[in-house]
A and B are shown apart, each in its own frame.
Chain A
Amino acid sequence: MNEYESNALGYNRRDFLKGGSVATLMTMLGGVELFAQTNAALAGQTKAPTIKIKVAVIGLGAWGRELISNLSRMPQAEIPIDAEIAAICDTYPASLKRAGGTVPGAAQTPDYKTILDNKDIKAVFIATPTPNHKEVALAALKVGKHVYCEAPLAGSIEDAREIALAAKAAKHLAFQVGLQMRSDKQRLFLLPFIRTGQLGKMVLARAQWHKKTSWRAASPNPEREKALNWRLSKATSLGLVGEVGLHAIDQAGWYMNALPTAVTGFGSINLWKDDRDVPDTVQAVLEFPGDVRMIYDATLANSFDGEYEMLYGSDAAVMMRESKAWMFKEVDAPLQGWEVYAAKLKVFNDTGIALVAGASKAPPVDEKGQPILPDPMTTTPLFYALNNFLLNAAELTKAADDYKAAYGEDDVDGLMEALGKKRQDQARQRPAAGYLEGFHTAVTAVKGNEAVLTGKRIELKPEWYELK
Chain B
Amino acid sequence: MKTRTVIAANIALLMLAAAALPAAGETSTYSARSGSKMRIEGTANILHPTWQIEGTIIGGKLEVGPGFPTEPGQAATPGKVEATANVFIPVRSLKSVESDGKPYSDRMDEVTYEHLKEAQFKQISYKLTELTLKEVPKSKDAPYVFDSTGDLTVAGTTKKISMPVNILPVADAQGKKLEITGNVTVKMTDFNVAIVDINLVVGHIKTGDDVKLIFKWVVGQRKAAAAAAK
Contact = CB atoms under 8 A, between A and B. Distances in A.
Contacts of B105: 34, 38
Interface string B16-41: 00000000000000011110100000
A34 B202 CA distance: 7
Nearest to B95: A428
Given A38-B107, A427-B102, A407 B90 contact: no
Contacts, number: 56
Interface stretch (B52-60, B64-72, B157-165): B52-60
B102 A407 contact: no
Contact of B93 (A33, A399, A414, A427): A399
B34 A407 contact: yes
B34 A402 contact: no
Contact of A406 (B58, B102, B106, B107): B58
A399 B34 CA distance: 13
Contacts of B36: 406
Interface string A44-66: 00000010000000000000000
Interface residues of A, number: 24
Interface residues of B, number: 26
A466 interface: no
Interface in A11-67: 32-34, 37-38, 42, 50
A320 B119 CA distance: 41
A224 interface: no
A38 B201 contact: yes
A411 B57 CA distance: 13
A403 B57 contact: yes
Given A402-B92, A406-B36, A410-B223, 20 more contacts: A32-B201, A34-B107, A34-B201, A37-B201, A38-B105, A38-B106, A38-B107, A38-B201, A42-B107, A50-B119, A405-B90, A406-B57, A406-B58, A406-B88, A406-B90, A407-B57, A407-B59, A411-B33, A415-B34, A417-B34
Interface of B: 31-34, 36, 56-60, 88, 90, 92-93, 95, 102-103, 105-107, 119, 200-202, 222-223
Nearest 5 pairs of A and B residues by beta carbon:
A406-B59, A414-B34, A427-B103, A37-B201, A402-B90
